[in-house]
Structure 1
């Protein structure tokens, strides 16, 4: 039951990530004329409300993460959403491990930047107070926490970890001898 709850969480995470990537995140890379005004307005509202200047004036390193999101992660999202919607798809284990390590590794410098960088007040104000910094961290945190939860599930769940299943089978066969 607990594993199925995690699979449902993973399904919603991956399914929701598709429109977020297509309509919000990729605005960092694609020309402005590609997006209709309402999508641009949502991005500006988000940047203003959460004081995230990285999405309006992204540093090159941030653009490289978004490029990886577009090239590597976006094609994986519908596959992972399907696997976790269906449940018990053992074939998703290795791709999910690769994905979760990749994303968790990318989030560490992003969170470090948010917490430690001295953001200028102009032209695009970033977080200045601890509250503003932690609010922005809370926006990015699920993209670290859920991949880490996914990684732990893939490594330690007996459903997805065939090594633990093989160890159990091996110990049972030794007991029978």
Structure 2
């Protein structure tokens, strides 16, 4: 029951990530003319409201993460959404582990940057106070927390972890024969 609840959370995480990536996250990477004015306005509102200058004037290292999101993660989102909607798909284990480790690894520098960088006040103001920094961290945090939850589920759930104590015992007894 608990595993099924996690799978549903993972399903909605991946399903929601598709439009977010296409409509918002890729804007700093792709030419501006590809996006309608309403989506550009949405990005400007987000960046101003949550003081996220990385989306308006991304550093090269941040662009590289967005590029990986476009090239590696985006094609994985519908596959993962399908697997977790269906539930118990053992074949998603290795790709989910790779995805989880990759995303968690990219979030560490992003969160560190948000917490410790001295952001300029112009042209795109970044967080200045602890409250502003923690607000921005709260926007990015689910993209660390959920992949870590996916990783632990893939590693420790008997449904996804194909090596079990019973399986190890039977293979040891075969070796002894």
Same fold (TM over 0.5): yes
Q: Identify the residue that residue 25 of structure 1 maps to in structure 2.
A: 25
Aligned partner of 2:156 in structure 1 is 156
Aligned to 1:110: 110
1:170 and 1:123 map into 2 onto residues whose CA distance is: 60
Provide the secondary structure at the position in 2 that maps to 1:19: helix
Structure 2 SS opposite 1:159: coil
Aligned residues: 173
**Per-residue deviation, residues 44-75 of structure 1 (Å, max 9, x unmatched):** 01001100000000000000000000000000
Partner of residue 166, structure 2: 168
In structure 1, the residue corresponding to 2:160 is in which secondary structure? coil
Match of 2:141 in 1: 141
For 1:28 and 1:102, the matched residues in 2 are separated by 20
Structure 1: runs of 5+ lacking an equivalent = none
- Paired with 2:167 and 2:6, the residues of 1 have a C-alpha distance of 25
* TM-score for the superposition, normalised by structure 2: 0.95
The alignment partner of 2:120 has SS state of coil
Q: Which residue does 1:4 correspond to in 2?
A: 4
Match of 1:90 in 2: 90
* Alignment gaps of 5+ in structure 2: none
Structure 1 segments (4+ residues) deviating >6 Å? none
Aligned twin of 1:124? 124
The structural deviation recorded for 1:163 is 1.0
2:37 maps to 37
The one-character-per-residue Cα deviations of 1:116-147 (angstroms, maximum 9, x if unpaired) are 00001111100000000000000000000000
Match of 1:163, SS state, is coil
CA drift at 1:172: 7.0
